[in-house]
Structure 1
Amino acid sequence: MSHQHPIIPREKLDFGLQGEIPKYWFGGDPFKTRFFDAMSTIFPEGEKFFIACVRDFRDQVTDPQLQQEIKDFIRQEAQHTMVHNQFNQHLRAQGIDVDRLEAIQRHISFNLARKYLPKKHTLAVTAAAEHMTAIMAHGLFKRKTTLEQADSRMRALYAWHAVEEIEHKAVAFDVMTKVAKVWYPRRILAMIEVTLVFSIHVLLVTRHMLKVDGFSRWERAKMWAKGLWWLYNPRGLFAPLTGHYLTYFIPGFHPWKSGDLHSYQTWVDTFNGTGSPLAAGDALHAQGH
């Protein structure tokens, strides 16, 4: 059993996003940069969706602790939306039609999924997505080399986001299992859906961004070959997370039974001591293996 962390909303953080950020802030690599930029365009509408799906069952929660955790979860997700929206202004300035991308996602999430799918299912989708984001937090900061070449401001943004995803990783799951009483097959179906939809969605947005950037078809083909290897090779971004990902399929799974991010406390202690998410991001990165 890993240690459960308190959910602490942190507001009015300054990542220095008002300044100039290199267009290809991930070591000058267009694919790696645009892959993360694609996630940044997805997060705001995605987090609004997660909040709405948890709120569907909030009135049925009788446990005061879970009620407080829901409140703090919502506050954290709202802050994630605000900060990613702030960064997305840079993407707009680069010619990326962020508004159109968000409108498409909003239509799929709210006009289709939340309108036609059972509330229990959209909550199961939320719990699955929260597991995905929590294990990605491990993937980004367990190994120092993963974000070694990233701009320190962007690395700090994703470090903060990762830490808070770990803090609230069990909230949607607990609402799903303790309140909505979602049965195991629906939980697994939702995870399969999230795995496929998230992967396809991010890659499609990445593809769109690289086309907007004006790279030729041949240039993009080379970027994709190198980029997909970076993502999916046996030592790539995702492969080391396979075991952690698969724990979700165990019938007795709970998020706090999964491994913890070993350097979580380093980030918290540094942030509490300095008040700087940039210093905390550097400290978390430095603790990687």
Structure 2
Amino acid sequence: MNTQTTQTKTDTLDHAPIVPRENLDFGLDGDIPKYWMANDAFKTRFFDAMSTLFPMGEKFFITSVREFRDGVTSPKLQQEVKDFIRQEAQHTLIHRQFNDRLKAQGVDIDDINKQLETMFFVEAPKMTTPTQRLAATAALEHLTSMMCTCFFERRELLEASDPRVRAMYAWHAIEEVEHKAVAFDVLTQVAKAGYFRRSMAMLAITFGFPLTVARIMNHMFKVDGFSLWQRTKLWARGLWWFYKPGGLFIPTIGYYLAYYKPGFHPWKVKEMPSYGTWLKVFERTGDPIAAGNALHAAGQ
């Protein structure tokens, strides 16, 4: 992925407005295959595991930003916080619908939610400050935006996926790009967190996030009936897909490392170049699946 940065001040950077989109229908109650991504258990369960994180994760993001909401004095940032919360709430609703499919497959969604709720809302408040939790939110928003840009900038990654699920992730990606700077702006402008605080949060998230996803994926593989040896082979092939040269994550390294630059701001890293394609199709048709197909087709 060719990541480009600008040198302009953050208050002059052009970026898309945050637009909460509600009552979208992705057809998630339809006949979506169990392994909806190229009939590949590892690739499918990677995305499925991330979906299980979103309801509690989005709630954590909203809560972390709300803790500083009263300190926001800029009318522009106040509106962005409001729209950020509305977008994240919609993400929660849609991913709950998707997770109902996983629950019907035997995935213990209730237990996953319980563990995440304990981690985010019982353990985290005991061990961290509000600023640290907001810093974690800003870091996770950067990683999410990075992955969204990666998935839809490179057409081959989601080529053989079910268009309904792909459309759900396309919509989620679009909105993540739109609000990617909100938590960061609250962190730096209101919480007054500096370089060290945000960098340490990113380091912690870099290790903690994939471990959480891996634990959920392993549960899913067990539910699917894979033996220990089969799971070992799945992980070996999957990790190669993740980290091989030209694989899922290595081309995004520039996007990731940009967060550690002094003077970094999310809008200094360009969003997916095909963002406008999704927007035009959705505004013309009102169909998120058609917009998702268009976004995917516009990838390189």
- The within-5 A match list for 1:222-237 is 222-237=233-248
Provide the TM-score with structure 2 as the length reference: 0.95
1:148 and 2:159 aligned: yes
C-alpha separation in 2, matches of 1:280 and 1:3: 23
- The within-5 A match list for 1:206-217 is 206-217=217-228
Query: What amino acid is aligned across from residue 102 of structure 1 in structure 2?
Result: N
C-alpha separation in 2, matches of 1:176 and 1:267: 30
* Equivalent in the alignment of 2:3: none
After TM superposition, the runs of 4+ consecutive aligned structure 1 residues lying more than 2 A away are none
- The within-5 A match list for 1:177-256 is 177-256=188-267
1:35-76: CA deviation from partner (whole Å, max 9, x where unpaired): 110000001100000000000000011101100000000000
* Equivalent in the alignment of 1:162: 173
Query: What amino acid is aligned across from residue 158 of structure 2 in structure 1?
Result: L
Deviation at 1:260, TM superposition (A): 2.1
Q: Alignment partner of 1:3: what SS?
A: coil
Unaligned runs of 5+ in 2: 1-5, 7-12
C-alpha separation in 2, matches of 1:78 and 1:279: 23
Task: Give 2:96's match in structure 1, choosing from 81, 85, 106.
Answer: 85
Query: What amino acid is aligned across from residue 89 of structure 1 in structure 2?
Result: D
Deviation at 1:281, TM superposition (A): 0.3
The answer to which of 200-209 and 110-119 deviates more is: 110-119
1:272 and 2:274 aligned: no
- The within-5 A match list for 1:62-73 is 62-73=73-84
The answer to which of 20-29 and 50-59 deviates more is: 20-29
* Equivalent in the alignment of 2:54: 43
* Equivalent in the alignment of 2:10: none
C-alpha separation in 2, matches of 1:180 and 1:245: 23
**Residue correspondences, number:** 289
Alignment RMSD, CA only? 0.8
Task: Give 2:144's match in structure 1, choosing from 122, 133, 136.
Answer: 133
Q: Alignment partner of 1:47: what SS?
A: helix
Query: What amino acid is aligned across from residue 154 of structure 2 in structure 1?
Result: R
Task: Give 2:21's match in structure 1, choosing from 10, 24, 44.
Answer: 10
Identity of counterpart residues, as a percentage?
58
Task: Give 1:53's match in structure 2, choosing from 64, 79, 83.
Answer: 64
Provide the TM-score with structure 1 as the length reference: 0.99
Paired residues of 1:3 and 1:260 also in contact (CA < 8 A): no
Query: What amino acid is aligned across from residue 119 of structure 1 in structure 2?
Result: P
C-alpha separation in 1, matches of 2:100 and 2:31: 11
Q: Alignment partner of 1:59: what SS?
A: helix
Unaligned runs of 5+ in 1: none
Deviation at 1:176, TM superposition (A): 0.4
The answer to which of 19-28 and 156-165 deviates more is: 19-28
Deviation at 1:20, TM superposition (A): 1.8
Query: What amino acid is aligned across from residue 18 of structure 2 in structure 1?
Result: I
Query: What amino acid is aligned across from residue 153 of structure 1 in structure 2?
Result: R
